[in-house]
Amino acid sequence: MKNTLFVKAGKVAIQEIDKPTIQADDDVIIHVVRTCVCGSDLWSYRGFEDKDANSQNNGHEAIGIVEEVGSAITTFVPGDFVIAPFTHGCGHCPACLAGFDGDCQDHTDNFSRGNQAEFIRFQHAEWALVKIPGKPADYSDSMLNSLLSLADVMATGYHAARVANVKRGDSVVVVGDGAVGLCGVIAAKMRGAKQIIAMSRHEDRQKLAIEFGATDIIAERGDEGIAKVMELTNNAGADAVLECVGTELSNETAMKSARPGAIVGRVGLPHEPKMDMTQSFGMNVAVAGGPASVTTYDKQLLLKAVLDGDIHPGKVFTKEFTLDQIDDAYQAMTNREAIKSLVVIA
Amino acid sequence: MKNTLFVKAGKVAIQEIDKPTIQADDDVIIHVVRTCVCGSDLWSYRGFEDKDANSQNNGHEAIGIVEEVGSAITTFVPGDFVIAPFTHGCGHCPACLAGFDGDCQDHTDNFSRGNQAEFIRFQHAEWALVKIPGKPADYSDSMLNSLLSLADVMATGYHAARVANVKRGDSVVVVGDGAVGLCGVIAAKMRGAKQIIAMSRHEDRQKLAIEFGATDIIAERGDEGIAKVMELTNNAGADAVLECVGTELSNETAMKSARPGAIVGRVGLPHEPKMDMTQSFGMNVAVAGGPASVTTYDKQLLLKAVLDGDIHPGKVFTKEFTLDQIDDAYQAMTNREAIKSLVVIA
């Protein structure tokens, strides 16, 4: 089968490898229908993160058809259409029960990788995998894209809004206009935010943010951006802030955009380990967040919202590729020609 | 009148100065009945924080009798018995309305100082000051001490528990066995915590923690302490953690003691500006907290709980001094002979 190989920084390529096989009782083998490239996949591609040459590539998002199930799987049968979340919660440990299956305490292999391939092995599938009614042929392309967003970005944007405790009537700032930030706008709207301020410098993303529910756009960064937030919130600061980038600057902007007592929900993978937490203490600004609870949100409300046509997160996919074009898919995102690159396989 | 002068690190002394006067329409002059020494007052006393020699001392806790009121004050008259919170919220800005009057957005002089004196000027008193029914003579010494704790430590302990979202049935870890940590134990119990694990190495404080509601004591620190927390919580981590110290080690212990998705409510004044926030991201552990909402909590529930005899936070005062003995009061806390030093004035 075709699989994506990380050749070196700036180069991924398709290689032929053996199809994955069931290795544990709770494994499921999935025939991938659609996959995609994540902003976090670009870290090693851009050379910001060390990664061995000619190694298994990242990539952790997919929808597909169940091909084979392990002996312990009771919830899926071959032929089922599924979302493969990037997280693999057990559903019954204290973390999963609290709705934080991104930190399942039952096992250590909680994250997907190598999903830019024709087939994938999905571990701990019994609870973590999410069933989609019907078959791929029952859905439009745009609906399939929205379903694919439920493997990560839409759930991650929702996580930011949930841990930031976005409530009805809130003013919300979203820092970051990548796919996750844009999904954060959708999530803030779903949770009833009245004012949604998207910080975005790119016209295509500004446009999508507004389509998704943003009420205001701030193009400025740093102190100028913060000043604009204060202006738009009557100098109060936002009731909730979604941090969807992960840099020191974006975190500082997020914390300084918040009203005293507000929560910054951060889902941008942190670029620097240490953060200045003095001002957040002085201002009683809380910092929450981490890996999303993908299965929880998909099952609770996101799958229904997508299938009902209430939300259209698949619009973050602005360019389409085949698996053979995987390097072009990476390049498109690296060069900001695509908000998020879609890879159609089956 | 007698006032406490910061002579130099390791030395405070009484000086005679003029009584404070009304300087703004919303000022109140208070004749102090009882004041005390805070752990944070010790920072400059111990030389951990630069402070000018022969300058106005810190000290921000008091109960007393209203002596004189500014022209804008409608809520108090001379003779009223009051708690003087260390915070001075306006009661109507977005931060105060959200219950974060420790970060009032109406003015910048939001904190008390110089309260180890016979008289104090309490600014922005209209909403911030808290009335106690009756007169000092109506109360026992132990009740007066509990009322004094409502100027800071009991409210600060409660703040940790509130921002950590301690709920009925929770397992809670309290890091720090100073007066604030011990009041955090009281607060966790008030909010219905089922398991309250106090991290304490001192026998007198362990005893008081248990009297206040702690179900378990951990004397170990760092990784050993964290391992004990895991043991006591069936390897889940605590549902909420109260960080009542402010050092890098105490914050690390707090974050690593938390279950994924739990909140660390930190009220220990941070000793270092930067914190390692990578693991908290990986574990979805939130960090909240800052200056307490003293007036809010006193008016909402703490004053009633003290007057009803439901809680006895005044027990944190384990040694009593006169104002002339102020340096002894500091020494007793510095040498850990007192959990918290009480200063009886009128």
Q: What is the pLDDT of residues A79-96, one digit of tens each?
A: 999 999 999 999 999 999
How far is the alpha carbon of A201 from chain B, nearest alpha carbon, in Å?
A: 26
pLDDT-derived band at B346, boundaries 50, 70, 90: confident
Flag if A289 and B288 touch (Cβ within 8 Å): no
Q: What is the pLDDT of residue B52?
A: 94
Q: What is the pLDDT of residue B49?
A: 86
Q: What residue ranges of chain A have pLDDT lower than 50?
A: none
Q: What is the mean pLDDT of chain B?
A: 97
Show residues of chain B in contact with A278, CB under 8 Å: 270, 273
Distance CA B185, CA B150 (A): 15
Residues in chain A within 8 Å Cβ distance of B291: 282, 284
- Quick check: B261 and A95 CB within 8 A? yes
User: Residue B219's pLDDT band (boundaries 50, 70, 90)?
Assistant: very high
Mean pLDDT for B204-222 is 97
The answer, yes or no, to whether residue B195 has pLDDT greater than 90, is: yes
Residue B271 has a pLDDT of 85
Q: Do A100 and B284 touch (CB under 8 A)?
A: yes
Chain A contact probe: residue of B49, B250, B284, B296 with most A CBs at under 10 A: B284
What is the per-residue pLDDT for B217?
Answer: 98
- Do the chains contact at A98 and B260, CB–CB below 8 Å? yes
pLDDT at residue A346 in the model: 82
Chain B residues whose CB is inside 8 A of the A239 CB are 98
pLDDT at A48: 87
Portion of chain B with pLDDT greater than 90, in percent: 95
Would you state the structure tokens that stand for residue B68, as one six-digit string?
């004189």
Copy the structure tokens of residue A215.
């009420």
Please name the residue of chain A whose CA is at the shortest distance from the CA of residue B266: A281
pLDDT by residue (tens digit) across B281-310?
999 999 999 999 999 999 999 999 999 999
CA-based nearest residue in chain B for residue A105: B236
- CA-to-CA dists, residue A94 to A190, B216, B242, B251, B336, angstroms: 27, 20, 19, 22, 39
pLDDT of amino acid B302? 98
Q: Phi and psi (nearest 5°) for B306? A: -70, -50
Strand partners, B132: B81
Question: Which of chain A's residues have a Cβ under 8 Å away from the Cβ of B278?
Answer: 270, 273
- Return the pLDDT at B333: 96
> Which pLDDT tens digit goes with each residue over B155-191?
999 999 999 999 999 999 999 999 999 999 999 999 9
Contact between chains at B284 and A291 (C-beta distance less than 8 A): yes
**A169 in B contact zone (CB under 8 Å):** no
Task: Give the number of A-B residue pairs with CB atoms closer than 8 Å.
Answer: 134
Residues 6+ positions from A334 with CB-CB distance below 8 Å: A42, A45, A46
Does A260 contact B103 at a Cβ distance shorter than 8 Å?
yes
Chain B CB contacts of A98 under 8 Å are 239, 259-262
**How many whole angstroms separate alpha carbon A282 and alpha carbon A277?**
9
Give the model's pLDDT for residue A292: 98
Q: How far is B169 from chain A (nearest CA, A)?
A: 13
Q: Does A282 touch chain B if contact means CB atoms closer than 8 Å?
A: yes
Q: Considering only alpha carbons, which residue of chain B is nearest residue A268?
A: B281
- B100/A284 CB distance under 8 A: yes
B269 touches A at CB < 8 Å:
yes
Chain B, residues 79-98, CB within 8 A of chain A, namely 93-95, 98
Quick check: A49 contacting B, CB < 8 Å? no
C-beta atoms of A259 and B283 within 8 A:
no
**pLDDT value for A273:** 85
Please tell me the predicted confidence (pLDDT) of residue B317.
98
Which residues in chain B have their CB less than 8 angstroms from residue A288's CB? 263, 284, 286-288
Q: Place B70 in a pLDDT band, splitting at 50, 70 and 90.
A: very high
CA B342 to chain centre: 14
Mutate to test the interface with B, among A245, A281, A293 (most CBs of B within 10 A): A281
Kindly identify which residue of chain A lies nearest to residue B234, measuring between CA atoms. A94
Q: Name beta bridge partners: A69.
A: A28
Nearest CA-CA distance, residue B100 and chain A, Å:
6
Per the rule left: phi > 0, alpha: psi between -120 and 50, beta: everything else, B151 is: alpha
Measured between CB atoms, does A280 come within 8 Å of chain B? Answer: yes
B311 lies within 8 A of chain A by CB: no
First and final CA of chain B: distance in angstroms?
Answer: 12
**Is a pLDDT exceeding 90 seen at residue B144?**
yes
Which domains can be identified in chain B, with CATH numbers?
2-152+293-344 (3.90.180.10), 158-288 (3.40.50.720)
Which positions ≥6 away from A189 have C-beta within 8 Å? A196, A212, A213
pLDDT tens, residue by residue, B84-100: 999 999 999 999 999 99
Nearest chain A CA: its distance from B246 CA (Å): 10
Give the residue among A242, A193, A192, A200 at the shortest CA–CA distance from A217: A200
CB of B158 less than 8 A from some CB of A: no
pLDDT score recorded for residue A272: 84
Tell me phi and psi for residue B145, to 5 degrees.
-65, -40
Cross-chain residue pair A275–B277, CB shorter than 8 Å = yes
CA-to-CA separations, A124 to A27, A91, A127, in angstroms, rounded:
6, 10, 7
Chain B CB contacts of A263 under 8 Å are 286, 288
pLDDT bucket at B273, cuts 50 / 70 / 90? confident
ipTM above 0.85, yes or no: yes
Q: Which of A103, A236, A261 lies at the smallest CB-CB distance from B260?
A: A103
Three-state secondary structure of chain B: CEEEEEEECCEEEEEECCCCCCCCCCCEEEEEEEEECCHHHHHHHCCCCCCCCCEECCCCCEEEEEEEECCCCCCCCCCCEEEECCECCCCCCHHHHCCCHHHCCCCCCCECCCCCECEEEECCHHHHCEEECCCHHHCCHHHHHHHHHCCCHHHHHHHHHHHCCCCCCCEEEEECCCHHHHHHHHHHHHCCCCEEEEECCCHHHHHHHHHHCCCEEECCCHHHHHHHHHHHCCCCCEEEEEECCCCHHHHHHHHHCEEEEEEEEECCCCCCCEEECHHHHHCCCEEECCCCCHHHHHHHHHHHHHHCCCCCHHHHEEEEEEHHHHHHHHHHHHCCCCCEEEEECC
Nearest CA in chain A to B261: A100
Chain B residues 215-234 with CB within 8 Å of chain A: 234
What local confidence, expressed as pLDDT, does residue B272 receive?
84
